Structure 1
């Protein structure tokens, strides 16, 4: 199975798509807040680069960068001073989804590397009595 066909790359593809939407969101949603626009451009570019790197050659640090950027998107409206704007809603929503997808990808790769931790006792599949 090639690297492109692994199921674990799907969250990275979604994050890459969301990064493109973040980067284009100042134009798509006609944002007027300058701090919000710059934040979405820079964060979208960083997430896009990290997601593309994870698709090409996966490393855990790339997903942790996406987790940090997702958390940054959630906190940045208050830290940069654009609360109660359209940019805030986009930032928080996208940040939550990007963080969730990055954690999902980390879990999927961890599970693949440590299958014995997720195996049923006795080697049987199904519910435990």
Structure 2
């Protein structure tokens, strides 16, 4: 009789510190992106991206101090703002693509962490 393999879904159940580090690194990348790429956005768009990058870094590092689910919610909102900001401020090119990609990764990491922390108190 053939042995049926079962999958270990522990990856989805355990919050790991690399997830917070990855989120913080994405925040650093968003913060430093105007230096690395040709900036086409307005000053308001650059300020928004800088503030959002700092917020993502702070939320990711706060997770190492105090585990709360609201941090992931704010992190997902910050990622969603990064995705929306090229449309709100009307800029395009590499900068817009980078913000949308980084925002999507922040949202995905935040959702994963939120799922992993589902049994914790808010």
Would the TM-score normalized by the shorter structure come out above 0.5? yes
Alignment RMSD: 1.7
What is the aligned partner in structure 2 of residue 23 from structure 1? 31
Q: CA deviation at 1:10?
A: 2.2
Q: Which residues in structure 2 correspond to 1:43-122 (within 5 Å)?
A: 43-82=52-91, 84-110=92-118, 113=119
- Give 1 or 2 for the bigger CA radius of gyration: 1
- Helix, strand or coil for the counterpart of 1:30? coil
What is the aligned partner in structure 2 of residue 127 from structure 1? none
Taking CA–CA contacts closer than 8 Å with sequence separation of 6 or more, which of the two structures ends up with the larger relative contact order?
A: 2
What is the number of equivalent residue pairs in this alignment? 106
More helix by share: 1
In structure 1, runs of 5+ residues without a counterpart are 1-5, 115-129
- Helix, strand or coil for the counterpart of 1:58? coil
Kept after mapping to 1: 8 A contact 2:15/2:117: no
Kept after mapping to 1: 8 A contact 2:56/2:75: yes
The whole-number CA distance in structure 2 between the counterparts of 1:43 and 1:7 is 23
- C-alpha change, 1:92 and 1:19, in structure 2 (3 Å) is same
The whole-number CA distance in structure 1 between the counterparts of 2:65 and 2:16 is 12
- Helix, strand or coil for the counterpart of 1:17? helix
What is the aligned partner in structure 1 of residue 3 from structure 2? none
The whole-number CA distance in structure 2 between the counterparts of 1:62 and 1:7 is 13
The whole-number CA distance in structure 2 between the counterparts of 1:41 and 1:81 is 17
Q: CA deviation at 1:7?
A: 4.5
Kept after mapping to 2: 8 A contact 1:23/1:40: yes
| TM-score (structure 2 length as normaliser) | 0.78
